[in-house]
A and B are shown apart, each in its own frame.
Chain A
Amino acid sequence: MNVESRREGTSLVLKADGRVDGTNASEFQDAMKSEINESDRAVVLDLQDLTYISSAGLRVVLLIAKDLQRQGAKMAACSLSDPVREVFVISGFDKIIPIHDSQDSAIGALS
């Protein structure tokens, strides 16, 4: 699992790859947290290369979403692979975190 970040206009794009499960969920959390600034107002989670996420990983996404909400920021996810999209849909996470087909449409929706 790796998290890379890049800024696109006023949005922070976090791109995660690999697998996130109970064994590396806290690394995943640290990796994302270290990329987010207090001044960020829009964060896009690009999950194109994330092949698997367990419930422990989803919890980290929730924690980050909650932190962002506290600082008045919005979050969206984009480009989910089929298995990850399925996890988001079954668990109902797609109702809390808007899912977009592409990075552009996620960035557009947040800005």
Chain B
Amino acid sequence: MSTPDTRERVDAFPTRRIGGHRVRAGRPFPYGAHPVPGGINFSVYSDRATAMSLVLFERGAAMPMAELEFPPEFRIGSVYAMTVFGLDPENIEYGFRAEGPWNPEEGDRFDSRKVLADPYARLVSGRDVWGEEPDWEDVYPYRSQVPDEDFDWGDDTPLGIPTEDLVIYETHVRGFTRHPSSGVSAPGTYAGLREKIPYLRELGVNCVELLPVFEFDELDNPRTDPVTGERLHNYWGYNTVSFFAPKAGYAATGRFGMQADEFKSLVKELHRAGIEVMLDVVFNHTAEGNEQGPTISFRGLDNATYYMLTPQGEYYNFSGTGNTVNCNHPVVRDFVLSCLRYWVSEYHIDGFRFDLAAILDRAPDGTPLPNPPLLEQLAHDPVLRHTKLIAEAWDAAGLYQVGSFPDYGRWSEWNGKYRDTVRRFIKGEPGLVGELATRMAGSPDLYQGRTSSASVNFITAHDGFTLADLVSYNEKHNEANGESNRDGADDNHSWNCGEEGPSASAHVRELRLRQMKNMLAILLTSQGVPMILAGDEVGRTQLGNNNTYCQDNALSWFDWGLVGANAELLAFAQGLIAFRHAHPVLRSTDHPLGTDRVGSGYPDVSWHGVMAWSPDWSEHSRVLGMMRCGRHAKGGTAPDDHVYVAVNAHWEAHDLELPGLPDGQRWHVYADTGVPLPHGLHPLGAEPPLEHPGRYHLGAHSVVILVGRPADPR
């Protein structure tokens, strides 16, 4: 029999008073503000400061209630730590004031007029309700707070779905339900997204990738719409203010400071539905911008530690946004690692997609490192050991590492080459049959020696055209962004199918629908990890705008009316996702070699043209057939049917000779993009056999998916 230890702690008593508050020397770890018996422990790093104060506000008060300078005895190394007794965590906001030199040439930009946010703040107030006009004169606009961290997770943990089995759905917390048509009780919030989980389940995706949810300022965009004069926002949020804090404005309860609970509740419910949560994280730069930007936190605490600086003390700009985080500085590595560990352990996050990740392997002087310590550390960290790590393997300064990102056997990449190849092939460009085959096989040319889940395959993402716009616009139309259409990518590889923009022509509309189906069909039958942009399954348009980072309006929001209006495309997308889940042969981790590895009499993958076993790799060929031998599924460990996918990007139909099947088996049609529903898609396992075995008439601009299995239905 044991009894609970109710002893008080010896260090639960103050040793002195500073600024009217009872305090004692604190603990340097963990950084940030943490409740301890009787008080709150504050800890902050600065190497070059000459003095540091803790600034305390009553919640919401304009001016501080106290400033407590850290005495020299409260400093260990370069860490200032103090326990303050008698504070109510729920009713205070805190920051720091750092004294130090203003000497940009040496890298120092201290400014003791500023109250600085805690880099480790886990709750932030100041932008509690999305878009609400703040007090622009506030002496401390983004206020660090102390969260409650005793969320009741029950038995929940990150799900650990094998990467190769994921179907990723990239979405925006606000955009997913902000449209009036969403019908949720709290539009545009974590809680709103939670109400749409049944839709995600019906769609069949098992991972949502959320655009940035770390606290950012949606009002930091100075531009206005050139026509309406309305404010443009920072809608996407790739401009982090606080890396440990969930965005309050995405929470229906943000005005009560309960965004952490609301977001955790969303994660827990998604997990319960079998859906993983991946966060798009932006460690390449911060919201402090360049020399002209606001001093929020890092710049005023230790500019030379946190940012990459030129020998003259100016900001390197590998991110294209003004500054570059000094990711491979040991202190910053520690910061990034702590941050990711926190999101995994405290929020049960399943994976991360790193924005402009090539920056993460640059040295403090910008040189790309062959063995970047940050990436190695993340790959082997105990807490992150099963966390998915996905790199956007390029940056804004020309470092392009698709296929060469230092992966340590752990990292996957957004495969930009996959995107471009599928777009160009489907558009009808010549000379791409060979490259399409390589991409559908998991891009072994790029990822040799790695598993095929190194390749995150996508055709569209938040950045660029939506799927519907990819088949409706030849040119971008970004005038509403206020930069005379100069912003956004020009190499979209898009084809409008004959008319720019909305079309009344039945022919054009039918062709567009088919082209969208074609691309989804390729995406979901390719080896690698497919990622779908939210709304593409219902033909969401942005009216040709391929850079809606600033458009917090119907241009970006998911219009739920499309679920009914484009029911055919949605049903087709659902069918394709279900097909992928049902066929492990599409989800192997080994790259196919084109050889028979299990004695089935068929190679793991074989290529075909109009004639079976005779792929036409020539310049003017626009037809490719791919057969996957089901006996090879998951290295021969999972029984599966044979799958045959033929893509015809030609403007004429073709009669295809089909590869023969083992005795007793026949080809059955699962889907044909050229045939309207209901005949263009069949229920899994109830696919009709071909009337003329051995041949298939594939229409112009069409994709067919066949399954080879015993002729007698099971």
* A, B from the same assembly: no
A residues sitting closer than 8 Å to B (CB atoms) are: none
B residues sitting closer than 8 Å to A (CB atoms) are: none
